[in-house]
Structure 1
Amino acid sequence: MDTLNSNTFDLATTPLREINAALHSDDVAGEIVIEHPSGAHSVAAGVNAPVKVTVNGHVGYYAAGMNQQAEITINGNAGTGVAENMMSGTVVVKGNASQSAGATAHGGLLVVEGDAAARCGISMKGVDIVVGGNVGHNSAFMAQAGRMVVRGDAGDGLGDSIYETRIYVRGEVGSLGADCVAKPMRAEHLDELAGLLKAAGFKDDDPRDYTRYGSARELYHFHADNTSAY
């Protein structure tokens, strides 16, 4: 295996399959650096160990997908589905993320310091997502559990067909999706939001500047009279 040193891998000279295999090995430990990703897909996918992985550059589809335990930092932008189906750990994108960031993720924390495109958090199932900028249309679509924080604006269709995810938005919302409504910010929500912002590195934000959104719980069970709302 061609490496720069024992814990640094160069994607310009080492096949991605070899790098991911090393990250999946039983004895993986410590801090790992991946250089020159150049938009490769599935970088650092499927890691299941309490390690720290730093990717220096832009990545393609499904980076850090299925993450468990690891702390993964991407010093660049991320393509479709970053941290998709994450179970635990932390994924931080220092740039922007394409569509479906954090899709179906069950746990852990995903931080996108820039903007996230359409369908951020689609079908999220327990993950916490904090976006430093804006999110695109249909974000938190069919979101089942977890928390989403948007420090900027949200596009149309926010929270469409949402279940029990809690959404906090500081900026403007283009429109709310079916069964998603604004809700009061009680003391427990202010405390929860403050904790999420601190964990994501935005501790100076005032939680009182945010609006909470969630489910009106009108569409949990299909009824013919509600067909037009789906």
Structure 2
Amino acid sequence: MMTDAKIRLYVDHPLAGGQSVPLDADQALYLFSVMRLQRGDAVLLFNGRDGEWRAEVAEATKRRGVLICRSQTRPLSPSPDLWLLFAPVKKAETVFIVEKAVELGVARLCPVQTARTNADRLNRDRMQANAREAAEQCGATVVPEVEDLLPLERRLADWPAERRILWCNEALAGAATVLAGQARGPWAILIGPEGGFSPAEAARLAAMPQVVQASLGPRILRAETAAVAALTLWQSALGDWA
């Protein structure tokens, strides 16, 4: 009989009743050498398509293993249609932004290079792994996609007409008040770099009809704090917290 499942694992494999799920070497090492699972133990699996499934360890070695899906524990629960545009900062702070954005329920992570962005490169694979690990920990059934780092101007060049952007501009009215009058639908939140946007970037954003400007309060926030604050306000007003 299966023990209670205490571990969640993302797998890139179909999930259904009776479906066998092969593990790669890293997953087998984690489950059987690090977490000490054995045959008959339970694991919660999700793949971003088929919801969450309770699975049983059928085969277990140091380098490979097989799990068998037994029952669905949760249906697929996609995040709200919310993107986070953010300028990468220091490595640890960027990881923090990615992890907390997943926990707070974004659908896509879009790093942008601005005139005052200090980081000029981003390890997308590593950030995607951070997003996957955060989804495993927080109970999400979908892992947000991390996109390539793009210049802000290029990111905005073909911006969808229907997707509004919450631009966190500390010079303006509070975000909660501004969001209270907005409709649900496709949204993005834009968090700038340390030092803020250049005058040219600010003018470009202000001219976009999709942009909604708002402040995050009377104090200057670090980029990672601003991301958490903005996501919390949006989720409370327009997302799946409302």
TM-score tier, shorter chain, comes to: under 0.3
* TM-score, normalised via structure 2 length: 0.24
Which one has a bigger Cα radius of gyration? 2
* TM-score (structure 1 length as normaliser): 0.25
**Structure with the bigger percentage of helix:** 2
Q: Which has the higher contact order (CA 8 A, sep 6+)?
A: 2
